[in-house]
Amino acid sequence: MAAANAAAAALSVHELRKTYGTVAAVDAVSFAVRAGECYALLGPNGAGKTSILRCCLGLTAYDSGAIDLLGYRIPAQARLARQRTGVVSQMDNLDPDFTVEENLVVYGRYFGIDRHTIGRRIPELLEFASLGQKVHARISELSGGMKRRLMLARALVNDPSLILMDEPTTGLDPQARHLIWERLKQLLSRGKTILLTTHFMDEAERLADRLAILDRGHKIAEGTPRELIREQIEPEVVEVFGEGAVEWARDRAPSLSSRVEIAGETAFCYVTDATAILRELEQRPGLRHLYRPANLEDVFLKLTGREMRAEW
Amino acid sequence: MTNPAAFWRVPRVSRRFIPVWQRNMLVWRRYLLERVLSNIVEPAITLVAFGYGLGTLLPQIDGVAYLPYLAGGTLCVSVMYSAKFESLWGAYSRMEVQHTWAAILNAPVAIDDILLGELAWAATKSVLTGAAMLLIVWALGLARTPLALFVLPLSFIAGLSFSAMALIVNARAKGWDTLSTYFTIVVTPMIFLGGVFFPLSRLPPWLQEISAFLPLTALVQLVRPLMLDRVPEGAAFRLALLLFYAFGCYFVAVGLSRRRLLR
């Protein structure tokens, strides 16, 4: 039974519910990650993303539902499942007392990998992480991006078929983020399956084959990034801000756009054709605007009435 | 599933506790010199200062001069300190500051294994400290008997019990202050109730009764006679007491750590 499931889905989560006291951190969430794809859980902090990952790894008990990871029942067989899974957690938990190389050797031992075997794999792992020059460096000598890449290399010591990543690029500068993204694509091209959580639209749009948008423990939408944008909202957005923007949006915008959302001091005007609204805005030098294609953030805003960014 | 009973299942351990022990060993080797010095120098000073300074003013205790009397007690305190420090400040830092345990839990290693690895490591340090102390004592011309070598396995067993107690505190600690408080109200008084500096017969009877069930007392009452080339009295009870602390406290520490970390 395990093998048959695994062929279809690397991970399946069914009606998962996890409560802390009276608060449901995860409420009836279901999704399946197909082997070889990158699936993202997208949502603001507190949406339940990390709780889902912890449940999947068997690191916390859940109230009801079912999880199958690589054919193993979680939490009963969590240990076997973790043997074949790689995890990159959100916080840096590299061993500060060790060098880059020692971090990999020591971590490999937790999987029962002996020093000799890991020793042969280290050059390849460090090459992948672009840390070839840093074999003997201490962790304190590494930049944030290097540390995250070492975390990624460390998650690969057991050659996992599924990799779980919690906010893989949070806190990194743009250059470091691009390098991580590029590495994740390499992993996907090698046939690895990736489940990642993120609150970055661009990250989800760029990497995920499919994604689920989460809000307050609920899954509120699922699909490919393009599907979600196409199905849920108008193709273009004009963001209007500056003094008087909110008043203008109340009085004028509804007649010029198919839908208007106001979040904070900014009005989001959704349109299929922006010509009319842009012409109107030319007459209003006090207002500033940004004209762009719709993205996942807009989907989130429409479905919840809130900005994801505002909740950081 | 989230019922609290799940946290109190009997610990299930695997060989994966060994890499946890190895990790701590590797860190210790890195800072070998400073760690050994700090572990050894202080007890050595105590021994010399009190033994020679105070010892010359004191009559014999139980037919023994004060310096050899104190040697056994001081050794036991060092053995206790090294396990306690490792399982209080060391373990807390690995759990809460460096998130080392969180990283290990993402691998196929259970909390039960992590705590067993910590326990085994702390006990190993107790043995290393016990051995270093024996050398110092030997260099002072004391405890030159083969029986003194039994101190090493005893240090291991006592290290397990001292560490297991500390891991309970660690699992409940709200911060560094909790560790200091435990040290002040439990560890330090144990030194004065444990027969380290003076015979237990000097304590009021009700304190003697409490003292008899303290792990440090058990260790001192085993180690001191051995170092004086005598066979300890009541050895079976004292060994059983140490093992009871080790297993019992490990069980509680695992339950509390699961409750803290597997949320």
pTM exceeds 0.95, yes or no: no
Using the beta-carbon criterion (under 8 Å), do B104 and A110 form an inter-chain contact?
A: yes
Answer yes or no: are the C-beta atoms of A63 and A143 closer than 8 Å.
no
Q: Give A95 to chain B, closest Cα distance, Å.
A: 7
- The whole-number pLDDT of residue A310 equals 57
Chain A residues with beta carbon closer than 8 angstroms to that of B27: 95, 97-98
Average pLDDT over residues A40-50: 92
Domain that holds residue B167: 12-261
ipTM of the prediction greater than 0.85, yes or no: yes
Average pLDDT over residues A292-297: 90
Residue-wise pLDDT for B228-240, tens only, equals: 999 999 999 999 9
Q: Give B153 to chain A, closest Cα distance, Å.
A: 27
Contacting residues for A270 by C-beta, under 8 A, at least 6 apart: A233, A234, A236, A237, A257, A258, A259, A260, A261, A294, A298, A302
Give a yes or no: residue B7 inside a domain: no
Which residue of chain A is at minimal alpha-carbon distance from B262? A60
Chain A residues with beta carbon closer than 8 angstroms to that of B6: 61
Chain A interface residues (partner B, CB cutoff 8 A): 19-20, 57, 59-64, 79-80, 82-83, 87, 89, 91-98, 102, 106-107, 109-112, 158
Give a yes or no: residue B2 inside a domain: no
**Which of A61, A97, A111 comes nearest B108 by C-beta?**
A111
Chain B residues with beta carbon closer than 8 angstroms to that of A63: 1-2
Q: How many domains does chain B have?
A: 1
The model's confidence at residue A187, banded by pLDDT at 50, 70 and 90, is very high
Give a yes or no: residue B176 inside a domain: yes
Residue-wise pLDDT for A93-127, tens only, equals: 999 999 999 999 999 999 999 999 999 999 999 99
Instruction: Check if B9 contacts A (Cβ < 8 Å).
Output: no
- The whole-number pLDDT of residue A3 equals 44
DSSP string, A222-264: EE-HHHHHHHHS-SEEEEEESTTHHHHHHHTHHHHSSEEEEET
Average pLDDT, chain A: 91
Chain B residues with beta carbon closer than 8 angstroms to that of A24: none
- The whole-number pLDDT of residue A1 equals 42
**Which of B16, B102, B110 comes nearest A93 by C-beta?**
B102
- The whole-number pLDDT of residue A309 equals 64
DSSP string, B37-70: HHHHHHHHHHHHIIIIIIGGGS--BTTB-HHHHH
Using the beta-carbon criterion (under 8 Å), do A97 and B110 form an inter-chain contact?
A: no
The model's confidence at residue A312, banded by pLDDT at 50, 70 and 90, is very low
Which residue of chain A is at minimal alpha-carbon distance from B117? A110
- The whole-number pLDDT of residue B6 equals 82
Residue-wise pLDDT for B86-119, tens only, equals: 999 999 999 999 999 999 999 999 999 999 999 9
Q: How many residues in total does chain B contain?
A: 263
The model's confidence at residue A71, banded by pLDDT at 50, 70 and 90, is very high
Residue with tokens 């849920």: A232
Cα–Cα distances (Å) from A41 to A126, A129, A207, B88, B127, in that order, read 28, 24, 12, 38, 49
- Listed by number, the residues of chain B in 82-141 with a beta carbon closer than 8 Å to a beta carbon of chain A are 98-100, 102-110
Give a yes or no: residue B6 inside a domain: no
Spatial separation of the C-alpha atoms in residues A147 and A100, rounded to whole Å: 9
- The residue that leads in pLDDT, A57 or B56, is A57
Give a yes or no: residue B3 inside a domain: no
Average pLDDT over residues A188-198: 96
Average pLDDT, chain B: 93
Closest to A268 in 3D by CA, of A259, A278, A255, A277: A259
Average pLDDT over residues A82-92: 95
H-helix segments, chain A: 2-8, 49-56, 78-83, 100-110, 115-128, 144-155, 174-189, 201-207, 225-232, 245-251, 253-256, 275-282, 296-304
Give a yes or no: residue B229 inside a domain: yes
Whether the per-residue pLDDT at A24 is higher than 80: the answer is: yes
Answer yes or no: are the C-beta atoms of B226 and B150 closer than 8 Å.
yes
Residue ranges of chain B with per-residue pLDDT less than 70: 1-4
Strand pairing report for A162-166 and A210-215: unpaired
- The whole-number pLDDT of residue B1 equals 44
HSE value, Cβ hemisphere, 13 Å, CA-based, for B42: 11
- The whole-number pLDDT of residue A95 equals 95
Residue type, A28: A
